[in-house]
Amino acid sequence: MNHFFLKSGALVCIALGSAHIINAESSEETVYQLDDYIVSAGPNLRSIRDYAAPVNVVTAQELTRQSGSSLGAVLDWQPGVSSSSFGAGASRPILRGFDGPRVRILDAGLEAMDVSDTSPDHAVTLEPLLTERVEVLRGPSTLLYGSSAIGGAVNVIGKEMPRQRVDPKGYEGALEARRDSVSGGDTLAGYATVGDADWALTITAVDRDADDYEIPGDAQEDDAEGDTLENSFVETEQYSVGASWFFSEENRIGFSFSNYETRYGVPGHGHHEGEEEEEEDEESVAIDMERKRYDMELELVDVNDWIEALRLRLGYTDYAHSELEGEEVGTVFEREGWELRAEAAHSPWWVIDEGVIGLQVSDVDFSAEGAEAFTPQSTTKTQALFVSEHIHGDVLHYEFGGRMERTDIAEDKNQRSYDELAISLAAGATWHIDEANSLALVLQRSQRNPTSTELYAEGPHLATSQYEFGGADLKQETAYGVDLTYRTTHENWQAEVSLFYTYFDDYIFSEEREDEKIDELHVYDFNAIDAEFYGIEAQLDYTLIENEGNRLLLSLMGDWVHATNEDTGDDLARIPPMRIGSRLSWATGNWDSGVELRYAFEQDNTGPEETSTDDYLKLNLDVNYRLDLGDGITAVLFARAENLLDEEIRHHTSFVKEEAALPGRNLTIGARVEF
């Protein structure tokens, strides 16, 4: 990995900040409250309360409080959001029991374009510590991003490109260092932005180095060496540079380049040598990954009488990772492609108060070569038109969405192809009962075209211990969904409860052939069945104390989902268990602290050949102290203790839950300088 660029980036962060700090005059900082808005779902500013379906916004402050190194790990325990896990290096968000190709992971509105949706041991190439916020979207708004977002969309807004004018003092940034005890991991992260009223330049950098992590003593399995999970290390480096030019009052054009590199172990995923030996030696497997990404964004306001705002996004990604068997390269995955999105927010028309129309075009080449190349080389092209419209009444608010998406998949090896048009529609209505209470209903019919893996897979997939065969005759997957959400807001508390139900025609999943193996792996076929998902998610925030300089806040959450194969009556595999959680936060003066208690119930609604997973109780503590150093500089000292009870924790959603327990008791300490 390129240590020179990363260390240089971190030094430049410090130098840029220091150079401006020396000559800076103290000025009062302006604070903007953005938590109640989604600014990236379309080109116009939208309040969260304008969405009929639930929306979660996770801020940068909440993300830095987590110690996870992956997107799934830091979003885990948001209402309705759980995660997969494959050691510390790979974890992907799961929304209401949906994962893989049914959850769209976005990098500032564009496809992240890694290969995390093809296998659970492939990492998401987005760095949590360089994130402004994460938006978890469901309902009609997801149609803006893709028909594959049946479960929802996770939109990650990073710091790689400046999207707002720089602070009036001409610079801003932060530098952070942290260390954890469970893996001896060290992390250094920083960013800096400089500019004036017309331009801004941002650089970012992250360096993470963590050894195999410790697990509770009673969680030892075959892959555990003592109290340590063998081959669970993570090494990550990322740097980026981005610039924006602000012209007129609210117009902007920006460019950015980012380079993400990571190398991590894959626990529970080894290759045996010497089959005739009584005790076989096993080579550890690691993934060495690199992603280069180039982005351009153009935002225009008041384009003409009909277009109030216009946003154009273009992204190009060059991704590759090698699966290492010991020191040898086993399989190489590559994905290269581009995506273009154009969105226009229009002025009121007929009965429509506001809306967004747009188009999306992408062209992606995928290839896998080596012993585990279970998916042949292919090219996927998509073209889509989408619309999202709103009608605001005094009591009722209506939301409509639609998307037409054509997918063309060309497979190279056997010259096979797939070309179909998917049509998705959604409608929502929100009844504002009074100033404090509202009730929202969403109806949605979504179609998803199969992926190249689901169509044409043929080969060993060792991460899932399966020999997979695609279904070349698979048709579109169609989902019919209903959401009912009640919200209430009062002076010192607010709550939200959602019930959801989704029925699938031709739900695509991997089904085992009975009593058939190839190379000691069970054989699985991608088939289409009827399936249903239903569940509940709820959250409540209650301010117990609030006076001058003090606030005590109690937050509660809970979620549950059930999924069945309607053809056989069996439960579907790897569905998250019911969960409840709480957080008590106390802020006074320069101190900010919290205690979290989380309980995951036993999951015994299992699929065929799947084992149940035990319940667990997780206790976390965190504390932060902010110190004003003057001249606009703030130092933040923080500590976080996780899994204080040293519980044995295994994710039911994990393919390697038996081999790879989650980390045991962990203490993370660190410091951050903000300027």
Predicted local distance difference test score (pLDDT) of residue 275? 40
672, 639 Cβ separation under 8 angstroms: no
| pLDDT tens string 15-36 | 333 333 333 333 333 222 333 5
Question: CA-CA distance, 61 to 12, in Å (whole number)?
Answer: 24
CA distance 618 to 616: 7
Q: Residue 22 gets which letter from DSSP?
A: H
Name the 3-class secondary structure at 13: helix
pTM of the predicted protein model: 0.88
Residue 3 pLDDT greater than 50, yes or no:
no
More confident residue, 107 or 48: 107
* Residues 97-114: tens digit of each pLDDT: 999 899 999 999 899 999
Chain-centre distance of CA 97, in angstroms? 14
Looking at residue 494, what is its pLDDT? 96
Q: Is the pLDDT of residue 37 over 60?
A: no
Q: Is the pLDDT of residue 83 over 90?
A: yes
DSSP H or E run through 621: strand 616-630
Mean pLDDT (whole number) for 583-593? 95
Question: Cβ distance 82 to 94 under 8 Å?
Answer: yes
552 CA to centre of own chain? 29
Residue-level pLDDT at 40: 61
Q: Average pLDDT for residues 277-299, to the nearest whole number?
A: 81
Of residues 273 and 374, the one with the higher pLDDT is 374
CB-CB neighbours of 174 under 10 Å: 20
CA atoms within 13 A on the CB side of 203: 17
In 211-250, DSSP assigns E strands to 224-225, 228-229, 234-247
pLDDT for 441:
95
pLDDT, one tens digit per residue, over 208-260 is 999 999 999 776 655 445 589 999 999 999 999 999 999 988 899 999 999 99
Say if residues 579 and 601 touch (Cβ distance below 8 Å).
yes
Q: Which of 8-17, 376-385, 616-625 has the lowest mean pLDDT?
A: 8-17
What's the rounded mean pLDDT across residues 635-640?
96
Domains and CATH numbers, the chain: 3-674 (2.40.170.20)
pLDDT score of 205: 97
* Torsion angles phi and psi, residue 12, rounded to 5: -65, -40
Assess contact for 363 and 378: CB atoms under 8 A: no
The predicted pLDDT at position 471 comes to 93
What 3-state class would DSSP assign to 231? coil
Give the whole-number percent of the chain exceeding pLDDT 90.
Answer: 66
pLDDT above 90 (res 355): no
**What per-residue confidence (pLDDT) applies to 145?**
84
Rounded average pLDDT over 56-63: 83
What's the number of CA atoms in the CB half-sphere (13 Å) around residue 118? 26
8 A C-beta contact, residue 508 and residue 450: yes
Instruction: Give the Cα separation of 216 and 227 in Å (integer).
Output: 6
Q: State the Cα–Cα distance between residues 468 and 459, nearest whole angstrom.
A: 6
Q: Which residue has the tokens 């056997």?
A: 414
> Mean per-residue pLDDT for 451-479?
92
Can you tell me the distance from the alpha carbon of 561 to that of 500, in angstroms, rounded to the nearest whole number?
9
Whether the predicted pLDDT of 384 surpasses 70 = yes
Under a CB-based contact definition with an 8 Å cutoff, are residues 466 and 375 in contact?
Answer: no
Chain-centre distance for alpha carbon 169: 33
- The pair phi, psi for residue 350, each rounded to 5°, is 55, -120
Q: What pLDDT, on the 0 to 100 scale, is given for residue 9?
A: 38
* pLDDT digit string, tens, across residues 522-553: 999 999 999 999 999 999 999 999 998 899 99
User: Given the DSSP bridges, would you call strands 521-547 and 550-565 parallel, antiparallel or unpaired?
Assistant: antiparallel
User: What is residue 35's predicted lDDT score, i.e. its pLDDT?
Assistant: 36
Report whether 437 contacts 628 (CB < 8 A). no
Residue 473: which residues within 8 A CB-CB, separation 6 or more?
none
In this predicted structure, what is the pLDDT of residue 269?
Answer: 63
pLDDT at 297: 96
Does residue 647 sit in helix, strand or coil?
coil
- Tokens 């038109």 belong to 385
The larger pLDDT score, comparing residue 69 to residue 615, is at 615
Instruction: Work out the angle at residue 528's Cα, subtended by the Cα atoms of residues 522 and 531, and round it to the nearest 5 degrees.
Output: 105
Question: What's the pLDDT tens digit per position in 608-631?
Answer: 889 999 999 999 999 999 999 998
Q: Can you point out the beta strands (E) in 16-161? A: 37-38, 46-47, 56-59, 81-83, 93-95, 103-107, 110-111, 131-137, 152-158
The reported pLDDT for the residue numbered 24 is: 34
Written as six digits, the tokens of 60 are 């940068």
- Averaged over 279-297, what is the pLDDT? 84
Amino acid present at 540: L
Instruction: Please say if the pLDDT value at position 583 is more than 60.
Output: yes
Residues of the chain above pLDDT 70, percent = 89
> Which residues touch 509 (CB under 8 Å, ≥6 apart)?
526, 527, 529, 531, 572
Confidence of residue 10 (pLDDT cuts 50, 70, 90): very low
DSSP 609: T
pLDDT for 220 equals 65
Measured between alpha carbons, how far is residue 157 from residues 124, 280, 418, 539 in Å?
Answer: 14, 46, 33, 24
CA distances from 207 to 88, 175, 322, 381, 663 (A): 15, 12, 20, 35, 21
Tokens 């830091």 -> residue? 74
**Who has greater pLDDT, 522 or 279?**
522
Which token pair is 509?
């999943």
Please state whether beta strands 152-158 and 103-107 pair in parallel, antiparallel, or not at all (unpaired): parallel
Using CA atoms, how far apart are residues 159 and 192, in angstroms rounded to an integer? Answer: 9
Return the number of other C-beta atoms located less than 10 Å from residue 396's C-beta. 11
pLDDT value at 167 more than 80: yes
Indicate whether 291 pLDDT > 50. Answer: yes
Please say if the pLDDT value at position 439 is more than 90. yes
Q: Is the pLDDT of residue 366 over 80?
A: yes
User: What is the structure's pLDDT at 674?
Assistant: 95
**What does pLDDT average to over the chain?**
87
